Structure 1
Amino acid sequence: MDVRVVRTDQPIYVDLDGTLIRTDLLWESVFLLARQNPLSLWRLPLWAMKGKAVLKAELARCIEFDASLLPYRQEVVEELRRARADGRRIVLATGANEVLAHAVAEHLDLFDAVMASDDAVNLTAERKLERIASIEHPDGFGYYGNSHDDVCLLDAAAAPVVVAPDRQVAQWQRGSGAPVIARDGGGLRPYLKAMRPHQWMKNLLIFVPLVMAHEFLNLPMVLDGLLAFVSFSAAASSVYLVNDLLDLTADRRHKTKRNRPFASGAVPIPGGLALAAGLLCSSFAIAALLPVAFLAMLCSYLVMTTAYSVFIKRMLLIDVIVLAALYTVRIIAGAMAADVEVSFWLLAFSIFFFLSLALVKRFTELQDFGGGAHRSKTGRGYVDVDLETIGQAGMASGFAAVTVLALYVDSSEVRHLYGEPRMMWLLCPLVLYIIVRIWILARRDQMHDDPVVFILRDWRSQIMIALGALMLLVSAYV
């Protein structure tokens, strides 16, 4: 980092959005409102029509804001602390609303004064420069900025410092030679991470009806299954993006989720919204190539998962039932895409099996928060004393899935589909092993936060799945 030598009596004015923090408080406020008071979202257009200053002020009044959770640029904070220790006056000069700006200043305990937007003035660009210029600076002033709105301020500053510049500021910096702090060079990798491609493995459930109907060698059906897989994966990623935006506060309190692209500020909120819209459009374009019934299931999935993201995930027990249903919807969608019948037995097994895994997910999340976990902290409908109940319910649901599988093996459908149905009995201990092992690891605090992804990555579980597939093949063709 190249920082020029300046006079210690030059005050430093510091921008907030994108400079001191890796995010934008206007967008943060919108998603805080969506999470905390979604019924007020209809007011956004009315506030926006009155101007950006009013919009920011109304949002600040309607949300509960915790400045300690913001993704601060620590390199900038440390640089400012050194400057203040050298006797320089530090001023937070931001377009964010004054309520939020003062909360940030109070949290950092770094600033001598705060300049911010109020109900009447949106303090950005020229308006911010006018406010700063109205104060006498015999030796000039320093300014830390990052966006195109800051170009006029950087130009006027005696000691400009560029922080993680956008394209216009980067161009200005190359011409001026101003020092740079914290270049953001993440490229496309954070966007790809935000899409959670590892979660696409869940959509392999789309192929289950094809396998169970013994149509896995039917190339047209397999092609339809692949299209359905890609469509569901794109739709799921769009939902993950929006869900992460709604969960910013809870994720930043979590020991590992705080590193997610949105929570850490690696991906800007507008960029994430654009990516989500593109993925959703791609999903529907692919779905148009498949039967209408598949499109209906895709829409059902999107409605259910959106409702889950907005409010159901905070509802006790309803959340895990909906999670289990979302996995089952994937199976039904696969059947619709390939135009095969899905059996009652498969649906019953799916509900109980995935309910057990959904309860593992909640068990692990609650365990991560530790003692004293409560709803406001976890963002869920559970508290620390629920841990044992969740564990008992999860094990019981897993055993119910094995019971359904055992009844299916003894049914007339199996005797009709399989030449040697007795071989199918070996599936029961294989599934039992997977379920019990997952719960043992969860209680040992050794479980991935998503048990479905864990099963698909864990080599022991993969062996059980491979043995199960072998039993199905042997039973069908012996």
Structure 2
Amino acid sequence: MAIASVRRAETPASPPTPTAGPKPVPLVIDLDGTLLRTDLLLEGAVSLLRRNLLMVLAMLLWLPRGKAYFKRKVAERAVLDIATMPANAALLAHIEAERAAGREIVLATAADELMALKVMQAFPVFDRVVASDGVRNLKGEAKAAQLASLYPQGFDYAGNSAADLPVWARARSLIVVEAPGGVARAARALGKPVREFPAASRLRALTKGLRLHQWAKNGLVFLPLVLGGRAGDPAAWGLALAAFLALGLVASASYLLNDLLDLPHDRAHWSKRERPLASGRLPLSAGIAATILGLAGGLAVAFAAGPAVLVGVLAYLALTLTYSAWLKRVPMLDALTLGGLFTLRIAVGVAAVGVAWSPWLLTFSMFLFTSLSFAKRQTELRGAAKRGRSGKLSGRGYQSADEPVVLAFGIAAGLASVVIFILYLANEAFRHAALAAPLALWAFPMVLVLFMGRVWLLAGRDELHDDPVAFAVKDRPSLALAGIAGLAFGIAAFGLPQGLVAGWGL
């Protein structure tokens, strides 16, 4: 069977602009990683798994029949919104200019023809599609031979990967689009005219996708260490650090996994569409690899820290996956689940350092972080209303009419957390002989009231970042309050320096 090749039907509405002189050679554009900052095969596979995890069994049966057959089966079943996929705007502008000058624009891709035709419909700049057909895989040498046969007079080619080198070898001139450094150097070495569209830093995109600033949440594992009176124990600090690292790796991997599962909703969201995976700045393949490595590394560290830490981290992972797959779409329960994830961090800290469990502390954590989760939802609802998007919040179960309820529950949960911490101080903290100066902990309720008040004031003004944690680590007043709280905890654990105590006559 011949490689699929489809021409666009001629329409009198948008004919190419005639040009004088010889007809220019066609401009041939690759699809995955070139026109689109994504890979449609991976997008399709993730789409199938998002709908039904058992599809992995079907995929394992398709693979032995060849890459082209696998692509066809995925293309037949995947539901993708091509219009929201991240396109390379600079390349697209170049294509439109060349088409206006009278050039034939060809989409030549190893993706299956069914997907390529959807791209052709979404981007009306293409006159022809050449793609894999379910039998032969149009990649590398196969694509080069097909294009050389179709255009013996020559063609220019835009690509991005090592698989495009055989095509560039037969092309008249090359367009290198966001290619890795080694690929770009190999393309230049061919000695032909080269135009380059450089890529942004993928390392920076990966760092952003891992959400390393969110590791600040994992600082909760040290809370039992301080309040449990083991702040002077180096071995306890080592165990707490291991728990911190394990949770950080698993959490970062979970964020990437959540982004993979939530791609269609993120791309429809006014701010989340700029996330590394949704925007295409981080390739799906890199995101999947980082997810696997992060989960494996985090669980290995948790195992080394002890069985109790491993159980806690596995519970965190299970709840995170359940949240990503289902709970985040259930109103109210989604915020409670996020509060539970924060509280699990404290539980992992308790398990790591082996201190007594404190129901007051765990309950305080649930209410505090449930309040912050409601603040996140309230900000999203206000943002959607501000942009004229009524009805349901994309990817969530909330409606615009729910904003007053979310506001009320969020503020109530925040105030409840303050009351519960005061009850903890009155009923437990001052009975703990291991704390050097427990009176210092009375600073924390006041700090907490000021912080929660600032969060909800800014949320009401529509000035709060989508993520309260990202807001807190950049907001100067919040950082100042965090410094006061940290100082209070330090004094509670270690007491005041002896010189200062003597100077004050204490």
Common topology (TM > 0.5):
yes
Which of 100, 125, 149 does residue 110 from structure 1 map onto? 125
Cα deviation 1:30-65 (Å, max 9, x = unaligned): 222233444433322122233222322222232321
Cα deviation 1:314-335 (Å, max 9, x = unaligned): 2222222211111001001011
What SS does the aligned partner of 2:130 have? Answer: strand
Whether 2:469 is the aligned partner of 1:452: answer yes
Which of 252, 273, 278 does residue 267 from structure 2 map onto? 252
Which of 203, 218, 223 does residue 233 from structure 2 map onto? 218
Q: Which amino acid aligns with 2:362?
A: L
RMSD between superposed Cα atoms in Å: 2.6
Which of 62, 66, 75 does residue 51 from structure 1 map onto? 66
What SS does the aligned partner of 1:92 have? Answer: strand
Alignment correspondent of 2:400: 384
Does the 8 Å contact 1:369/1:378 carry over to 2? no
Does the 8 Å contact 2:316/2:344 carry over to 1? yes
TM-score between the two structures when normalised by the length of structure 1: 0.90
Question: CA 1:217–1:138 in structure 2 vs 1: closer, same or farther (change >3 Å)?
Answer: closer
Alignment correspondent of 1:297: 312
C-alpha separation in 2, matches of 1:155 and 1:414: 77
Question: CA 1:197–1:219 in structure 2 vs 1: closer, same or farther (change >3 Å)?
Answer: same
Which of 60, 69, 77 does residue 92 from structure 2 map onto? 77
Does the 8 Å contact 1:164/1:180 carry over to 2? no
Question: CA 1:19–1:420 in structure 2 vs 1: closer, same or farther (change >3 Å)?
Answer: closer
C-alpha separation in 1, matches of 2:492 and 2:184: 67
Deviation (angstroms), 1:97: 2.1
C-alpha separation in 2, matches of 1:228 and 1:473: 20
Does the 8 Å contact 2:25/2:103 carry over to 1? yes
Which of 139, 144, 147 does residue 161 from structure 2 map onto? 147
C-alpha separation in 2, matches of 1:467 and 1:9: 69
TM-score between the two structures when normalised by the length of structure 2: 0.86
Alignment correspondent of 2:116: 101
Cα deviation 1:140-198 (Å, max 9, x = unaligned): 22222222222222222233333233434631332323313212252532222222111
C-alpha separation in 2, matches of 1:91 and 1:314: 41
Name structure 1 gaps, 5 residues minimum: 1-5
Tell me the matched-pair count: 471
5 Å-filtered alignment, 1:231-380, equals 231-370=246-385, 371-375=388-392, 378-380=394-396
Alignment correspondent of 1:464: 481
C-alpha separation in 1, matches of 2:414 and 2:56: 40
Question: CA 1:164–1:410 in structure 2 vs 1: closer, same or farther (change >3 Å)?
Answer: closer
Deviation (angstroms), 1:423: 6.6
Q: Which amino acid aligns with 1:389?
A: V
What SS does the aligned partner of 1:220 have? Answer: helix
C-alpha separation in 2, matches of 1:127 and 1:22: 23
Does the 8 Å contact 1:161/1:181 carry over to 2? yes
What SS does the aligned partner of 1:114 have? Answer: strand
C-alpha separation in 1, matches of 2:488 and 2:165: 68
Question: CA 1:342–1:463 in structure 2 vs 1: closer, same or farther (change >3 Å)?
Answer: farther
Deviation (angstroms), 1:259: 2.4
Cα deviation 1:216-245 (Å, max 9, x = unaligned): 222221122122212211221121222222
Whether 2:178 is the aligned partner of 1:164: answer yes
C-alpha separation in 2, matches of 1:32 and 1:216: 47
Question: CA 1:151–1:402 in structure 2 vs 1: closer, same or farther (change >3 Å)?
Answer: same
Q: Percentage identity across aligned positions?
A: 36
C-alpha separation in 1, matches of 2:89 and 2:485: 51
Alignment correspondent of 1:408: 424
C-alpha separation in 2, matches of 1:473 and 1:283: 28
C-alpha separation in 1, matches of 2:167 and 2:391: 45
Q: Which amino acid aligns with 2:352?
A: A
5 Å-filtered alignment, 1:23-38, equals 23-38=38-53
Deviation (angstroms), 1:204: 0.3
Deviation (angstroms), 1:373: 4.3
Does the 8 Å contact 2:29/2:159 carry over to 1? yes
C-alpha separation in 2, matches of 1:445 and 1:146: 41
Question: CA 1:187–1:112 in structure 2 vs 1: closer, same or farther (change >3 Å)?
Answer: closer
Name structure 2 gaps, 5 residues minimum: 1-20, 496-505
